[in-house]
Amino acid sequence: MHYKISATHLSKNDNVFFKSMLQLIQIQLNDTWSYEETADIVLADIETPLGVAFWEESTQQQDKLVIAYARQNTCNAEWFLPKPIRVQALIKQLNAIATFKSTVQGAVQTSQTSENSPSSISTTKANLLGNIPNNTAQQVKPSDIPTNKPVSIEYFEPEHSLLGLIQSTIKKCETKCFTCEQGETIYISPQQKRCFTSKINFNHLTQKQRRLYASVAAQVTMTNLSEDALHQMAKAQGLENYAVETLLWLVTLCASQGRLMAGVAENSYVRLKQWPNFAVLPCQPVHLRIAAFMLKNATTLTTVSEKTRVDFSTLVDFFNACKVADLIVETTDQNVSTEAKPKSSAEQYLFKNILKRLSSHE
């Protein structure tokens, strides 16, 4: 089935981001989705007055299916996509809409659906049995044609993202420039263990920064350059420089989108090897909470999420960043020593108050 979707009242950045994201996730969607200027399925930013008006009108008239796009679902919209756009949430939402549409319009579409399914089933079977003819296997080998490799919905695979490119540049000790369409530009000097780019506000990344950090390898343009050229460039553009660790950390936080790092079993017991050096690894208060718990306890991420009351996808992003920074230890035994005993509410109130006072200090 082919669905058309448009977007309205999104900021320019969000709009560009949404379009490229839509292309990016094609392979993970159960159906084909394309962006059109006008369509019956519309993503509307309801944090703008016009967006809300549009949403209200369409909901009343029931002529369009509108996905409310905002940080919070304040309108109690049936179809809702949280801000900022994340791969997983978008896939989930679009697939859900497709399922909804197909049940409503099911009868009409049966013939088309059945046309598609046999081929996909046969591929899966062939894969499972491991009996794909050699030539076919070569065609889909991801390392040969990275563009064809789907962005995994389930796992975060550094080798298919900017992160992997930076890591291999560091390994090979090559000075390189990385950028992507409408994204930030960064220069990496493995020799100096620094990266050069425009100022980063750790509490608030720009759209340009997010776009680059979260991009898949295929979207990234890399250029080799000499150390001298890098220096001239940095000077001419007044670039700031940061530790490479800082960048790897930020890129991972941005790119993992709630997907666990490939190769990590979800139910393995993990703990922090040591306290992350938050002087160079930018963190949010929620990261401190997780770190405090994971420093003392070895357990599954699900348990960590429960005990710290941090949502799983935020936890996973942080975990991946720690993993990249080599701060994670996998253990065979579970060891939950600090029973996160329920603190008295007075104590919790006090901690919150202290943290509040401190944040006004910064």
Partner 1 sequence: MSEIKLVFTGSVGAGKTTAIEIISEIPVIRTDVRATDSETAKRKEKTTVAMDYGELTLEDGQKLRLYGTPGQQRFDYMWRILVKGALGLIILVDNAGSDPIGDLARYVDNFRDFVSNNQMVVGVTRMDIASEPDMDFYHQYFAERGIALPIFPVDARSKTSVVMLIQSLIAMLEFS
Q: Residues interacting with partner 1, by CB under 8 A?
A: 273-279, 285, 288-289, 291-293, 295-296, 307-308, 338, 340, 343, 346-348, 350-351, 353-358, 361-362
- Pick between residue 136 and residue 335 the one whose CB is nearest to partner 1: 335
Buried/exposed 81-116: b ≥16 CB within 10 Å, e otherwise:
beebbbbebbbebbbebbeebbeeeeeeeeeeeeee
Residue 326 beta carbon to partner 1: minimum distance, rounded to whole angstroms: 11
Residue 358 beta carbon to partner 1: minimum distance, rounded to whole angstroms: 5
Phi, psi of 319 (to 5 degrees): -60, -45
Residue 354 beta carbon to partner 1: minimum distance, rounded to whole angstroms: 6
10 Å CB burial of residue 339 (0-12, 13-18, 19+) is exposed
My answer on whether omega of the bond before 84 falls inside 30° of 0, hence cis, is yes
- Pick between residue 180 and residue 283 the one whose CB is nearest to partner 1: 283
Residue 239 beta carbon to partner 1: minimum distance, rounded to whole angstroms: 22
Cα(89)–Cα(71) distance, rounded to whole angstroms? 13
Helix (H, G, I), strand (E, B) or coil at 125: helix
Write down how long the chain is. Answer: 362
- Pick between residue 76 and residue 345 the one whose CB is nearest to partner 1: 345
Residue 90 beta carbon to partner 1: minimum distance, rounded to whole angstroms: 32
Greatest CA span in the chain, whole angstroms?
67
Residue 301 beta carbon to partner 1: minimum distance, rounded to whole angstroms: 16
- Pick between residue 118 and residue 342 the one whose CB is nearest to partner 1: 342
The two three-digit tokens of residue 128, written as one number: 């499972």
Strands (E), 1-86: 2-8, 32-35, 41-45, 65-70, 80-82
Q: Which residues contact 58 (CB under 8 A, 6 or more apart)?
A: 42, 44, 64, 66
Query: Which sign does the torsion angle of CA 159, 165, 167, 169 carry?
Result: positive
The two three-digit tokens of residue 64, written as one number: 């369009």
CB 261 within 8 A of CB 156: yes
Cα(36)–Cα(42) distance, rounded to whole angstroms? 10
Residue 275 beta carbon to partner 1: minimum distance, rounded to whole angstroms: 4
Residue 279 beta carbon to partner 1: minimum distance, rounded to whole angstroms: 6
Residue 305 beta carbon to partner 1: minimum distance, rounded to whole angstroms: 14
- Pick between residue 11 and residue 284 the one whose CB is nearest to partner 1: 284
Q: Which residues contact 324 (CB under 8 A, 6 or more apart)?
A: 158, 163, 248, 249, 252, 261
- Pick between residue 13 and residue 314 the one whose CB is nearest to partner 1: 314
- Pick between residue 161 and residue 297 the one whose CB is nearest to partner 1: 297
- Pick between residue 180 and residue 324 the one whose CB is nearest to partner 1: 324
Residue 234 beta carbon to partner 1: minimum distance, rounded to whole angstroms: 23
Buried/exposed 4-36: b ≥16 CB within 10 Å, e otherwise:
ebbbbbbeeebbebbebbbebbeebbbbebebe
- Pick between residue 20 and residue 297 the one whose CB is nearest to partner 1: 297
- Pick between residue 224 and residue 338 the one whose CB is nearest to partner 1: 338
Closest CA to 79 of 173, 160, 5: 5
